[in-house]
Structure 1
């Protein structure tokens, strides 16, 4: 089965399969979840550990807030997908970050726990637009500033979340110390072409006739034809099989099955991940394929890009090129040599040290360290 990722069609494929299977009972995992929950408890008197819903953009949306010290800089993490929340797998990598940052994970409209709050889901069908997500992100940031007494936040986007996050930073730079793009999307058509070419190259190198036949069936890709759901499924399947989602792996089981062990998600929440994918992706695809930040030549706040050397889901070459030409108060590119698209999960240590070296000083008033 094709797996979930920023690749919109791959997400759709997983969603269709999950919808057909129904919502399985994972109660046998509960003893393991209890251990993880205990390990993750914030016990420091200065800390914060909260999970709650609040009214954002006219609907109830879920926030998860964790950190060892409320006085630390606050990160607003904008997840990928769309509709692929980080909360159910944050236990895999986030704990060390919480010693230096208060980290907020937000289940966006149509995603995870927020999807389950929206009854019926069709009531928000007309709101599934990029600008609505951007407006939500800005409203979340304003809410967090007020509730936690923060002048500004650090805005971090991953994958699809970089589209939302980058737009939010451009529209309301006053809310943020800095913007961090992880697996940044700059131009979707460029991404599709680079990813596809990598898939063809790897299929030839491995003499994979099945892959070559499938990839040839949509050539030239993307070409001048529309990027449809059917074409993108084939285009993304093989680059991800050859390590373009998680480096050196042909699958990312740790991520897809990780929610089973999450103490923050019950069975209905876990099933809502795929249901939210299915609900959101077809509605957002026409806007998604037209995303293009190449015309942004000035960025109003410090910008840091985390780039996976092996990322062929949102390839890093366009991000590197964009970063070279953009004018910003501060800019930094950080290469993750052993990662593809899933950098926080693949190289959690480097994720933390890079945030400490290049980003935290921007929020604390210290001079950011240069390489």
Structure 2
């Protein structure tokens, strides 16, 4: 869902390969500054990188928080394969005063890509397996940090994983939080394509209109491939479908170069793992839909960007209008698209503090 940039930008996004002429990590001095600024120094804090085995696959997690007494917030990243761990340093530190935040590189993605044989992992890459990996991870976190429940925030592709967890095991969660929420993959692709065509027509971009229309019969039928998904998103991004006021996100995608938690080798694994994950998994999610889910047994909160047409927010809002749940709330971010956590970070923090965190105290 979020192989967001074409192959021509791969070098600038993932960084040049390390060679004998290059230092091991040319960004090391800047990363040392970031690491020190973001270092957890409180007496009861936690800051650790771990490898856990979930569903038979070794997977990397990062755990950070200023106070172990705070509730856990598990962030389930998008993609498939679009890990958030190397980006988190740029927005997550304020969250860590209120939550113990867990970043998880899913099977086949990021650091986890290098921990397993891709040929062995590929047949296991289904939504159900990712859902069950998340459930195993939650059980692990509960035991390690002595918690009864956790919060789960699913973003983009991760919102399909997260919502699946909330449906199967609501007892594990204080609440489910969706961001860039996927409801129906085929319907979402169709809505995003229609929106992009409309924007292109307004701009007089006949080339874009022709290229997107040529993708038919996708998404209604035919191959459901990442090439088809990227085929229209490459035109949607400059119109603000990914970031509302940042039509060129190239520099944003260089954020991992300064991540204290990612080495040059990890960045290379991120690039290869993203390609592997999207190519393998995208065809398998064509018919995933939550449209017929009308009731949830736990609180549900949606954090939606007003101009998100990467994973169209109107579908999630319509679903929330129909949903029955013990508590529910849709929060709109008027100057955001698919990435509110970096587009309007203060307002996202406000929502997490005011609308999410108190739910742990009501259980």
TM-score computed with the length of structure 2 as normaliser: 0.94
Change (3 A) 1:21 1:339: closer
Distance in 2, matches of 1:187 and 1:173, equals: 21
Q: Which residue of 1 aligns with 2:97?
A: 99
- 1:103-182 matches, within 5 Å, as 103-118=101-116, 120-182=117-179
Deviation at 1:21, TM superposition (A): 8.9
Change (3 A) 1:257 1:331: same
Deviation at 1:23, TM superposition (A): 2.5
Decide which of 327, 334, 337 is 2:334's aligned counterpart.
337
Q: Which residue of 2 aligns with 1:87?
A: 85
Decide which of 25, 37, 56 is 1:27's aligned counterpart.
25
- 1:1-371 matches, within 5 Å, as 6-8=1-3, 10=4, 13=7, 23-24=17-18, 27-118=25-116, 120-219=117-216, 222-365=219-362
Range that drifts further, 192-201 or 222-231: 222-231
TM-score computed with the length of structure 1 as normaliser: 0.92
Q: How many aligned positions are there?
A: 359
Are the counterparts in 2 of residues 245 and 313 from structure 1 also a CA contact under 8 Å?
yes
Deviation at 1:14, TM superposition (A): 6.7
Deviation at 1:220, TM superposition (A): 5.8
Are the counterparts in 2 of residues 62 and 113 from structure 1 also a CA contact under 8 Å?
yes
Range that drifts further, 224-233 or 54-63: 224-233
Task: List per-residue Cα deviations over 1:203-250 (Å, max 9, x = no partner).
Answer: 111112321231232246534444333332222211112110011222
Distance in 1, matches of 2:218 and 2:182, equals: 18
Distance in 2, matches of 1:228 and 1:265, equals: 29
Distance in 2, matches of 1:214 and 1:344, equals: 31
Q: Which residue of 2 aligns with 1:3?
A: none
Deviation at 1:59, TM superposition (A): 2.0
Are the counterparts in 2 of residues 15 and 278 from structure 1 also a CA contact under 8 Å?
no
Distance in 2, matches of 1:200 and 1:130, equals: 30
Q: Structure 2: give runs of 5+ residues left out of the alignment.
A: none
